[in-house]
Structure 1
Amino acid sequence: MRGFTAKKTGFLTTILLLIILFPVRGMAMPIDPGFDLFSTPDGSAIIDLGGILGVVPFESDPIGPGNTDTIVERLTGLPDGGTGTIEIELVALSLQSVDPVGVGGVFFDIDIILDDTAPSLGQINILTHDSTGGTYNSFIDIFVEIIFTEVGNPLNMITNLFDFTATTTGSRWSHTPSPDYPVDPSYPSGNFYAGILDQTGPHRTLVPSVIPLPAAFPLFAGALFLMGLRGWRRKQTAS
């Protein structure tokens, strides 16, 4: 009996030493293809439209689920604990001016949506990836329509096509959502929630840069994006 006890004690001691020398790490889940849902706090998206219009505050015009106004699709994924590049596309964007904007005595509501003739593509570079989440950098080339509609005369519309690049550096991501994140089977998360550790609203919100364009993607900390303006592409008027 003593011999058995000694052997058992020696075995347990060996196991404890192995645990101390080689601690077991929590398993990181894979990042699967999926979607990220975002919402813009009212008036926090500030866009410099230039000229006589100047800086205009925008707010969310929700498209769902929940109060979502911006949707990013992750087209590729990474294995357990993997780091590297994930291809992404901004697939939905819906913002509206907080108040009508006056131009020569005429007032216009302004809406911003995606340009459906040019895909808004980019990449997320996963820097760290453990059992809770990690950090990432990202960029995306965004193509939008800025639509001016005369108040009281919806047939008078002016559409400008605009493009810019959004980037973020050192943002946080998580494997788990906040309690109020709008889970929807049509938009599977793929075990990835961008910026969720910096979440400040009902679900992860976009905190825009002030000039020259808002963080339409964090995609984008607390989802802070620096925008690089590339310019107007064409102007189209309908009456």
Structure 2
Amino acid sequence: MGDVAEVPFDPGYSPDPHEKFSIGDYVMPDWLQDETSQTVSDHDSLSLHEDQLEAIKGIVAFARDAQGDEIILFQDFNRSHMIKPGRFLLLQHDTFESVSRPALTLGSKLDAVILRAERRLLFRSFRVTNTFLPLMEFYTDASEQEIRAVLSHETFIAEDADALAENAGQWFRKRFAMLRDSGILEHYSAEQIVARSEAYDIEIRLEQGKIVFPSDRSGAKRLLQFLNEEIYRGAITDTLYETNSKRETD
């Protein structure tokens, strides 16, 4: 962290490799408020929940700096970071063998850090960090013109762009801004997006190889939540939830 240059969070700015976004007076989500390095041992062992490992959204670790102040470290996690029995081979005494139980892999870099005493959050990617820490309140709303630009992207066919752009409330303006800056539309085709939607109880229509962006508010909201990766399944009940609010979806 000594070589990190902190930049106040700006959705329109792409930080250089040595830079990290900074948000001051950051309020941690409820699930993290009372967690410290002293409470980690109160949680169940992962061995009791092996069948739920694929539901992990992120890995959290606790450490202390030279002054003894606690810092919280975060790394994004998805099922590609899992080592499954029969799917990976490890070299053991000149012979390749598979693991007998699931294992996890860690990346070489952190995705976010909270300096607890200073209530300061450092991170590089809004889209990645927002999957495990709520950040939407810090995002700038998209203008009517910017919403129209998103709807005119080659990935979409909008049923009624005027209605969506002219009557968009703050919730929609934030999500359109987030989608614009996420890079999702540039890195994934309409067909790839539809294929990934199958497990999330969302119906996406394709016309001429493009996603039909619905004009009704309920359908538009659901599509934006999915595209911005704000929907996840509960590890135990398999219920669909909205990432930031933890409110059950309709």
For the aligned pair, the TM-score class normalised by the smaller chain equals under 0.3
Say which structure is richer in strand. Answer: 1
TM-score normalised by structure 1 residue count:
0.23
TM-score normalised by structure 2 residue count:
0.22
